[in-house]
Amino acid sequence: MRTRHDLVTQSLHWFVAVMVLAIYAIGLGREALPKGDFRTLLLSLHMSLGIGLMAALMFRMAWRLFAPPVEPVPTANSIRLAARLGHLGLYALMVAVPVIGLLAAWLKGRTVGFFGVPVLSPFAVERDAAKWLEDAHEISAHALVALAGIHAVAALIHHVVLRDQTLRRMLPSGT
């Protein structure tokens, strides 16, 4: 069995991680700006990248089914269970946050697109539901980034304190 994640898994992991953080930063950053063209442009960019993330994530989850298995790092069962639950939570939130964002945008009647290609809504405008979904989108996005922070700290503890292969096997060989 392999001792490292394959290159596709590694690339998708880091690509998705950077995308999530960039999309989050753009979402929060634009909230702080006064209404205007630049704020509107940032929302289009936020939504386009978010839709791109959904596609990358679908590919990642499909790839996970076929990826060559990696040898488990020797660790206590409780830590393995915590890691599994953490990863499950990350996947669940990575799916939920953009889906809720997309529904919020559609139900509000916003123009949604992927870098200029329209992504048309199958729903009628529902402003009350949109407001509720916007709040859910914001709260779940904070939860996603908080869990990703805990996850990153756990990875660094594996590397620096426990000195095991956990972080190294998510990096290209030679590191």
Nearer to ligand HEM, 6 or 124 (CB): 6
Stretch touching ligand HEM by CB under 6 A, among 34-42, 120-128, 152-160? 152-160
| Residue 4 in the binding site for ligand HEM (CB under 6 A) | no
Which of 25, 18, 87, 29 is CA-nearest to residue 56? Answer: 18
Residue 130 engages ligand HEM in binding (rule: CB under 6 A)? no
Secondary structure of residue 146 in the 3-state scheme:
helix
3-state percent breakdown (helix, strand, coil) of the chain, nearest 5: 70, 5, 25
What long-range pairs does 84-93 form, CB within 8 A, spacing at least 24?
Answer: 86/147, 86/150, 86/151, 86/154, 87/151, 89/147, 90/144, 90/147, 90/148, 90/151, 91/61, 93/140, 93/143, 93/144, 93/147
List 8, 17, 42, 79, residue binding ligand HEM (CB under 6 A): 17
**Binding of ligand HEM by 133 (CB under 6 A):** no
Binding-site member from 120, 167, 172, 174 for ligand HEM (CB under 6 A): 167
Interaction site with ligand HEM (CB under 6 A): 13, 16-17, 20-21, 23-24, 27-28, 31, 46-47, 50-51, 53, 64, 83, 87, 90-91, 94, 97-98, 101-102, 104-105, 110, 112, 134, 137-138, 141, 144, 148, 151-152, 155-156, 166-167, 169-170
